[in-house]
Structure 1
């Protein structure tokens, strides 16, 4: 063995190994103190790439789960309001049934039932307008299919369905809707010569002697709530027309006085008339007409329902011809229920206003729930059909919301919780410190550092032996 003092190779070797042990010890301390075995790219490039992607997925899953829980709250808010409206409709149905029992009801009883129904419909409209989640309205139609008309004075968009696509659709009336209407066979030109009883739709109206034509019209209109009929001066004659449009609207009128210039002019023969359903197209395709409403039954506009106004020059007819366009927007509620792009679910909630329920029900003179009238036996029977349709419609909406909550939101939420658990576990395997293993490494490295320090100290003492040769 050679003895040198310029280079202490043994000390260099000991220092090199001590540095390695110290570096390994520091890494063990870092892993034990942070809980991660991958703290930087150098600790495991591939592991870092995989775990960072999984971290993003974990954060997305947590947010998506929270989103589904919020969505459930939105659906439950809407469903709770619909439940209350359903209770109101059941009460309205009971009132209609009570009016249908005409054998025991007088005019005051009919009027009381109608007043209560009107109040109930106002409440339905109020609930529809005021039900919100935060500041987002849920039942006024803004969370479903909405539409605006280019000629709002004559066209009103009532509602659409999930089948209604957004777009702009031309509206045209090919046959005007018509109200039932009857004009007196003889125009009244002088005051009534004697008391007269005019029976309109089963309601007896006493006309006192001396009434002018204007007075007669005003007297008939006092009973509009009971008869469903409006009187007007039409080209000098007294005309009666139904409040409702369509083939189910009827008028029956008879007087106890012969037609004459000094009587109401209707005569002692029973006069009857029925209305006519509107016909027209939406987006160039024939629509289903009922009263003064058109319902699209095919094409992109399927499910859209619009109401046409009365002609300004003839109240007994609806508008006719081209009526501009309707612009339809699908504003369905869209929920982000996944951790990745486009993992969404949506549901549309149509307007629950009285004007949008029980629309265009066949076999009844009323064209929506908002028009129901129970001031006579026949009206009460027609009203029951509309109310039953509204209850069915509302129940279907609640069923759709319930299915969406249970089968979409809650099921996906449960699946994401399971996915989150498994993803967290996978990320933990890649990145988290195995403390049992790391403690063993830490102890080993700690001993190596202590031993290396001691050996380095000894290696530095080996050159001391050369001094004995110099003595």
Structure 2
């Protein structure tokens, strides 16, 4: 451009101003870099580096959340295994009770009744633990995290990408799932009247028959500890001699004895015999103190059905009537009842020697089942621990790699920032001088 002097146009000032704008933009950019510590703060700074950085940030954030997921899974497993250890302790106590009750010849059914009461209490405690062991409001020991009981596996997202998961089952610990639940008797069925046995003292030609003991109502007493199985009631009565005008001898006294059938076919007395008279209409037999008892309600004509021979004298009569006690087994927790185990269950039957012996095997199986579940969860917990360590390491490495891409060299940026400030100050000084040129032209006109 040719040299000259203008009033309306100052090319020197424009050139200086343009350079100052460039320097000012550099100062703003360098200020942002130094304030954020990043050389790439938006896509305009470095499109390729910005895209790579955002992917790394996405993965790093996902890994950090995955660490939290794995830690929550570890806490969930620790909660479950802690409760399982309590269940194991109860099962060990049950095993001691069953072992004690399985002795023969040293204990009566009434002796075992106390053991049965404790067994029932322990069974309810196991279900209480099952219902009270919760994580985030979920009953984690009820079977809802086990495919074996119709639930679904617990799945943890332990990576930043789809499919990077760890799944595991938490088995149910209620007494039904463990196989250590009995079946409480709630009703009766199959009452069968036996044949009466008359003593020879009545008459060798006395007609045999049966006492009509068939009850109008037969049921376990309230809070009974009797469980489903085979039972019988034994009647032993005394008859007076036939009167001159009577055709039968009168019942003068009698007793009822409840008996339970052992699995080996042996009948064992439950409690003591209960005295009855001809007018008895209802009676409770068995061991009422422990609840090992049943209640009878009879017709008023109970004992007037055995016909004695004309020559009959006084004597005795004995008769055994069999029946069954029935009930409905409680169910395990399911999704239909919010995965809650029953709060009213009974333990394995230990009222007879053979049932107590069978209970030992079932309790051993339950202990093995819980122990195996603890082993499985322990392995998952160890895997989660290793996963957490790996996730933390990977996240740290990603953050470090990301910093090498977008991180600013602060020494270099500070040097450039100082240089730009000097250039800005020099530009201001030069701009001030070149702006004096129009004033010099006015001096020429003057």
* TM-score under structure 1 length normalisation: 0.58
Match of 1:391 among 367, 370, 385: 367
Distance 2:286 2:391 in 1: 67
Q: Counterpart of 1:140 in 2: which secondary structure? A: coil
Displacement of 1:92 in angstroms is 1.2
Contact 1:35–1:433 at 8 Å: present in 2 too?
A: yes
Q: Provide the rounded CA distance (Å) in 1 between the counterparts of 2:56 and 2:22.
A: 33
Which residue is 1:131 aligned to?
A: 133
Within a 5 Å distance, the mapping from 1:33-72 to structure 2 comes to: 33-72=35-74
| Paired position in structure 1 for 2:428 | 453
Shift of 1:372: 0.8
- Equivalent position of 2:82 in the other structure: 80
Instruction: Find out whether 1:203 has 2:268 as its counterpart.
Output: yes
Candidates 337, 349, 353, aligned match of 1:373: 349
**Pair 1:434-2:409 in alignment:** yes
CA distance in 1, matches of 2:354, 2:291: 13
Q: Deviations over 1:422-466 (max 9, x none)?
A: 222233233333212211211221222223333334444567776
* CA distance, structure 2, for counterparts of residue 138 and residue 161 of structure 1: 11
3-state DSSP class of the match of 1:372?
coil
More strand by share: 1
TM-score, structure 2 length as denominator? Answer: 0.61
How far apart, CA to CA, are the structure 1 residues paired with 2:105 and 2:372? 35
CA distance in 2, matches of 1:379, 1:25: 91
Cα distance in 1 for residues equivalent to 2:114 and 2:286: 20
1:10 to 3, 9, 12: 12
Aligned-partner SS, 2:83: helix
How far did residue 35 of structure 1 move? 2.5
Task: Report the CA distance between 1:87 and its aligned residue.
Answer: 0.6
CA distance in 2, matches of 1:223, 1:185: 28
- What SS is found at the alignment partner of 1:139? coil
| CA shift for structure 1 position 90 | 0.6
The one-character-per-residue Cα deviations of 1:45-68 (angstroms, maximum 9, x if unpaired) are: 333344334334333332332222
Q: Deviations over 1:165-210 (max 9, x none)?
A: xxxxxxxxxxxxxx99783443532785335786643313646564
Residue 452 to residue 161, structure 1, CA distance change in 2 (3 Å): closer
1:424 maps to which residue?
399
Matched, 1:412 2:387: yes
Q: Pick closer, same or farther for the CA change 1:400–1:42 going to 2, 3 Å.
A: same
CA RMSD of aligned residues (A): 4.7
Contact 1:224-1:230 within 8 A present in 2 as well? no
Residue in 1 that maps onto 2:377: 401
Deviations 1:398-436 (A, max 9, x none): 2232223222x3333222212221222233233333212
Question: SS of the counterpart of 2:44?
Answer: helix
Deviations 1:114-153 (CA, angstroms, capped at 9, x unpaired): 222222112112111222224322223444469xxxxxxx
Which stretches in structure 2 are left out of the alignment for 5+ residues? 154-168, 170-187, 196-209, 214-234, 239-253, 262-266, 303-315
Match of 1:114 among 109, 113, 116: 116
- Alpha-carbon separation, structure 2, partners of 1:26 and 1:215: 103
Match of 1:188 in 2: 211
List runs of 5+ in structure 1 lacking aligned partners: 147-158, 165-178, 239-261, 276-290, 294-304, 308-326, 332-349, 356-368
2: CA distance, partners of 1:83 / 1:422: 39
Q: CA deviation at 1:351?
A: 7.4
Task: Show the 5 A alignment for 1:71-470.
Answer: 71-144=73-146, 159-160=149-150, 183-186=192-195, 187-189=210-212, 193-194=237-238, 195=254, 200-201=260-261, 202-204=267-269, 206=273, 208=275, 210=277, 218-219=284-285, 265-266=319-320, 370-407=346-383, 409-461=384-436
CA distance in 2, matches of 1:207, 1:461: 132
SS of the residue corresponding to residue 4 of structure 1 reads coil
Counterpart contact for 1:25–1:446, Cα < 8 Å = yes
Partner SS for 1:219? strand
Between the aligned partners of 1:468 and 1:207, the Cα distance in structure 2 is 143
Structure 1 residues 116 and 2, CA, compared in 2 at 3 Å: closer, same or farther?
closer
Number of residue-to-residue matches in the alignment:
341
- Please give the alpha-carbon distance, in whole angstroms, between the structure 2 residues aligned to 1:393 and 1:351: 20
Match of 2:229 in 1: none
